[in-house]
Amino acid sequence: MTKRRGNGEDSIYRDGDRWRGAIHLGYDEKGRRIRKKVSGRTRNEVADKLRSLRKLVDAGTVPDDKITVKAFLDRWLAHNLPGTVAESTEDDYNDTVRLHLSPALGRKRLAKLTVLDVDKLWQAKREAGYSANSIRIMRTVLRKALGQAEREGIVPRNVGALSAAPHVVAKEGRTLTIDQAKRLLKTVTGHRFEIAIMIALAYGLRRGEVLGLHWSAVDWDAGTVRLTHAVKRNKNRDKTSKRKTALVISELKTPKSRRTLVLTPQIMAKLRALHVHQAKAKIAAGELWKDHGLVFTTAVGTPMDPDNFSHTFSKLAKRAGLGHWHPHELRHSGASLMLAQGTPLHVVSEILGHTSIAITKDVYGHLLVDDKRAAAEAMSGALFGT
């Protein structure tokens, strides 16, 4: 005879030589009752499992040990991720799940996913020729998604975070020498991208940051400009449009990236001339002009396409006799040249908009050899009199 249910217990009953229990979780969208079942060798074992399950439900989590990795990742992308990262990052995460995580792990039950399963995936990606940095990105996406599953009680631990992190060796980027930088600036004189290239090089700005500069952010009296936005090409979220991508002007995502730059008199003079030229272009364009308040625009006031900017910049670099260069290498060049001129590391970090000086040191610390040599010589003089 089955023992009567105790106070506060969910359904417990005996089934042959096993004890089983069930907990009521509510009703689905069709009005059907949702129940979660557990089993054990003894009644007490089942009662303990139900009490643990009840605590999770009372805390607002409804574990689902039947959901597959793909189903959970799709749900996470649709409901948990939006609004927590920039749209461009969200697009990258979707691509990572679609191309790498779901094909390899998607059919597995999420609750049964193991560290070994994940480590085998990273090994397979290495053998397929993917770089350590690409695998690092895959691991980051999986770790973040499984963090949500852990909070919901679907998994007891985050196997993505416990998997072996790939060893990423940072590559030293190319940098223009002073002579090369001067040759480039001479070549772009008079070109419509002249000032954009000049500012990107002088302050180590990202491509999108330069193209996202607004006239309203320029303080003509103080000689400064505030960086607040960036122009990016993201996946088109307009369902009525046939275009796969769209240009967007988005706010910079971190407080450190929203920063103020002190402009040189030469750059201020160039900006004043551009402001006058743009005002004339606006009048000439008439109703065709689409005003976004941007410093760098197309002939009708719309944002410049970052990809077109990159293609044109590469052509200008080749014209200057430098070969193929990407605008992002202007950022590395600007930082390197600032450090070479003796600019303190923390100042360079602020100008670049890094979230911490540690990032700047990791990327550009190898350029501080002269500072280290000067420190060693100073200590030698103080200690040994040499």
For the stretch 105-129, pLDDT in tens is 999 999 899 999 999 999 999 999 9
Question: What pLDDT sits at residue 25?
Answer: 67
Q: Under a CB-based contact definition with an 8 Å cutoff, are residues 115 and 162 in contact?
A: yes
Report the chain's terminal Cα–Cα distance, integer Å: 95
The pLDDT mean for the chain works out to 88
Q: What single-letter DSSP state applies at residue 82?
A: B
Q: Are 57 and 64 in contact (CB under 8 A)?
A: no
Which pLDDT score is estimated for 168? 72
Please name the CATH architecture into which domain 69-162 falls: Orthogonal Bundle (1.10)
pLDDT digits (tens, 9 = 90+) for 219-256: 999 999 999 999 998 888 777 777 888 899 999 988 89
Rounded-to-10 torsion of CA 201, 204, 207, 211? -80
Confidence of residue 361 (pLDDT cuts 50, 70, 90): confident
Q: Are 63 and 36 in contact (CB under 8 A)?
A: yes
Element (H, E) at 232: strand 229-235
Q: Strand ranges (DSSP E) for the chain?
A: 11-15, 18-27, 33-40, 218-219, 224-226, 229-235, 245-251, 260-262
Instruction: Please tell me the predicted confidence (pLDDT) of residue 55.
Output: 77
At residue 340, the pLDDT reads 85
Q: Which tokens in the block code for residue 322?
A: 């430098």
| Crossing angle for the helix pair 178-187 and 194-203, to the nearest 10 degrees | 160
SS3 content of the chain, % helix, strand, coil (to 5): 50, 15, 35
Out of 30-34, 88-92, 181-185, 269-273, which region has the weakest mean confidence (pLDDT)? 30-34
4 — pLDDT class (breaks 50, 70, 90): very low
User: Is 178 strand, coil or helix?
Assistant: helix
Which residues lie closer than 8 Å to 210 by C-beta, 6 or more apart?
196, 199, 200, 296, 327
Domain 178-370: assigned CATH number: 1.10.443.10
Note the pLDDT of residue 153.
73
Nearest Cα neighbor of 229 from 272, 292, 299, 311 is: 292
43 neighbors 83 (Cβ within 8 angstroms): no
306 contacts 212 by C-beta, under 8 angstroms? no
The answer on pLDDT for 68 being more than 50 is yes
Residue predicted with more confidence, 8 or 34: 34
Residue type at position 223:
G
Q: Does 5 have pLDDT greater than 60?
A: no
Quick one: pLDDT band at residue 308, thresholds 50, 70, 90? very high
pLDDT at 328 over 90: yes
Q: What is the mean pLDDT of residues 59-74?
A: 77
11-15 vs 18-27, strand pairing mode: antiparallel
Q: In this predicted structure, what is the pLDDT of residue 368?
A: 66
Cα separation, 318 vs 313, whole angstroms: 9
Can you read off the two tokens belonging to residue 208?
A: 């999108």
Residue 162 has pLDDT above 50, yes or no: yes
